[in-house]
Amino acid sequence: MRRALLPGRRSTFGTRRWFLWALLVVLIAAVLTMLVWLAGRYEESQVQDRLDRDATDAVSDLRSALVRNVESLQALHSRNPVHRDRWALDAAGLLHEHRELLRIEWRDTALVTLAQFDTGFRAPVFDRLGRNNAQPDVLLACTNARRASGPAYAPSYFVPQNEGLGLEVMELCVPLTTGGALTGYLVATYSLNDVLTELIGKQLGRGQDVSFTEADGTRLAFHGVSRRGNRAFTASQLLDLPGLTMVLRLDSWRVTPDLFPNVLTAMVVAMTIALASVLVLLARDMRKRQRAEQRLAEALAFRKAMEDSLVTGLRARDLHGHTTYVNPAFCQMVGFSARELLGPAAAPYWPTELAGEYQQRQAIRLRGNSPPREGFESVFMRKDGSRFPVLIIEAPLIDAYGVQTGWMSAFLDISEQRRVEEMSRASQERLQATARLATVGEMASLLSHELNQPLAAISSYATGSINMLQDRKQSESDLHLEEAMRQIAEQAQRAGKVIKSVHDFVRRREHAREAVDPQAVLDAIMPLVSLQARKLGVRIDLRLEDHLPQALCDRTMVEQVLLNLTRNAMQAMDQPTIVDRALVVQVKRAASNERTSHIHGWLEFSVADAGLGITPEVANQLFTPFFTTKSEGMGLGLSLCRTVIEQHGGFLEFGPNLPQGTVFRFTLPVASASQAAKRI
């Protein structure tokens, strides 16, 4: 469920949101205004830069043209000697080519005019006031030319004309030399207006006004049509000539750019407005999207919470068999991370020996064959290599358009179920074993009761036979027969004790325990052990530590345990491949540890063989009742042996006998001094 915002928090959130949107609108307006202003300034700077370049180019062109004019004037005196008629003809041609020149004069070193020629494009400039008024300017220009040994100019001056008109002119003086000696001067009179018109270029005058001004801004000459605006762009460039310095000024006809100086700026403004509109639409869409995303996030969180709480593993695969999704329960089940499980790679949780079978099953599933609805069992492998059974339930994965996009699988770890079933089966087997043991106990009680009478009769007959042999004179054969009868009587008595011990064991009565010498236990079983050893070709090795204490035990039962272990050991070595058949029976003090803690200590009996050993499968069930590897065995021997030893407080175990075979060990408590004294 969605959590509702508190009124105070909702109001604060709404105010903050509207404040952010208002700030965004202000920023967009500021950016738009700044963009238009910068575009206008950029346009103005472009106009000004272009005007500055034009002024620089105009001054450069003007200097070049004046230098060419000087060279043309000097060419008038390139012939030697110079005739006045020829000079006048050349001067007329030069004035015709250069309309900016008003008059050319040839003067001697004293500045006396030798020849002169006026332009034919206008009336003589100096006819009204005469040439003498300009003599100071000519003298200044020629003086500078003589000092610099090159052409020099005089400052411009105004020459009035008829009808109130006039011209601003300047004088150029070019010194003439022959053989390095000054021979005269050429004086050329320029019209500043014609200089602007002819030397700067007609195309320049179309775009802006061109004028010569003094350093203080006084206009000397002007070319172009003056146009007025709210602001004109002006560029000034200094024209520095020998003896004369003027300022060339260009005034652009273009006025200050309007609000939208060009189409590009208008397009940018339009795009900015469109961007603002898009932002508004995006804001609306964002609010809808945020609400949808919030609902989706809540749905995903709810789904993830459910998935994380599941103990069932989930896995999704596409139609190509690639794993596209696994939930945490499945990752925890197999021990792999989601990154290791996703993708087209083979499932790492498949056991190696079953991977081929699982691949075939997956191929059948991808062809569209539906699995059984109740599921099927399989075996998976954890990351540590351990196997565990799982129940797999698969179903088609359908998308929102009703098209199958893959398969969804659910996994249940049935290890605990199998363990419970195994425990139930083991319990059932134990119940059956208990019933069989009860039957065996009843049979043992019946047999012990029935066998006591024949054993007693055997003992009586043996005793009577001994007495009869003792009453007559005995030969050597009689002595052997008497010894045999005595052994028969002892074994019959021993069999009676065994039957009595078994009867007491089955009936769970208190066993009679006494202090027994370990050597006496071995001596009691050795005749029977030796008989079987000779038959099987087994070599017996007895090892007893010196000064061993007596053991507190039921002698008859311990003898049976030891006899059973030695017989099993000899039977384990009854193999054709075993050459050295050695049976080692050892008695020693047991090392003190948690399993052998006793106030008086423990004795350890061990029986070691050189057989083929015990496999792990047999070792796990060796002490299980009714389990046996012998075709004629009942499976009760080792189970009863361990029960007898545990009733004495000890333990019975086995292990490998290096380099070959198996060793069985059991412990018995040491008798106290008082118990040993009672026996004596």
Q: Across all residues in the chain, what is the average pLDDT?
A: 79
pLDDT of the residue at 645: 87
pLDDT of the residue at 202: 63
Domain 310-413 class in CATH: alpha beta
> What percent of the chain shows pLDDT beyond 70?
78
Token pair 């333990």 is found at 651
Peptide bond before residue 81 is cis, with ω within 30 degrees of 0: yes
Fold exhibited by the domain 429-510: Helix Hairpins (1.10.287)
pLDDT digits (tens, 9 = 90+) for 265-306: 667 777 777 777 877 787 788 788 888 888 888 888 888 788
**3, pLDDT greater than 50:** no
CA–CA distance, 178 with 80 (Å, rounded to integer)? 9
**605, pLDDT greater than 90:** yes
Fold exhibited by the domain 58-252: Beta-Lactamase (3.30.450)
pLDDT digits (tens, 9 = 90+) for 342-376: 877 668 888 888 888 888 887 877 776 666 666 78
CA–CA distance, 476 with 592 (Å, rounded to integer)? 53
pLDDT digits (tens, 9 = 90+) for 615-669: 888 877 777 766 666 655 454 568 788 888 888 888 889 988 888 899 999 999 9
CB-based contact 365:394 (threshold 8 Å) = yes
Of residues 479 and 140, more confidence is placed in: 140
**185, pLDDT greater than 70:** yes
Same fold, 58-252 and 310-413: yes
CA–CA distance, 611 with 328 (Å, rounded to integer)? 52
pLDDT digits (tens, 9 = 90+) for 47-98: 788 888 888 888 888 888 889 988 888 888 877 777 888 888 888 888 888 8
Multiple choice CATH, 511-679, 1.10.579.10, 3.80.30.20, 3.30.565.10, 1.10.3720.10: 3.30.565.10
pLDDT digits (tens, 9 = 90+) for 166-181: 888 999 999 988 877 8
Most confident range (mean pLDDT) of 25-29, 333-337, 596-600 is: 333-337
Say what the pTM is. 0.40
CB proximity list for 629: less than 8 A, separation 6 or greater: 618
Most confident range (mean pLDDT) of 25-34, 73-82, 136-145 is: 136-145
Mean pLDDT of 257-264: 54
pLDDT of the residue at 6: 47
Structural domain spans, the chain? 58-252, 310-413, 429-510, 511-679
Instruction: Report how far apart, in Å, the C-alpha atoms of 551 and of each of 287, 514, 591 are.
Output: 92, 8, 15
CB-based contact 349:385 (threshold 8 Å) = no
Alpha-carbon dihedral of residues 466, 467, 473, 478, nearest 10 degrees? -10
pLDDT of the residue at 436: 60
pLDDT of the residue at 243: 86
Nearest to 587 by CA among 540, 648, 544: 544
DSSP string, 413-440: E-HHHHHHHHHHHHHHHHHHHHHHHHHH
Mean pLDDT of 509-532: 81
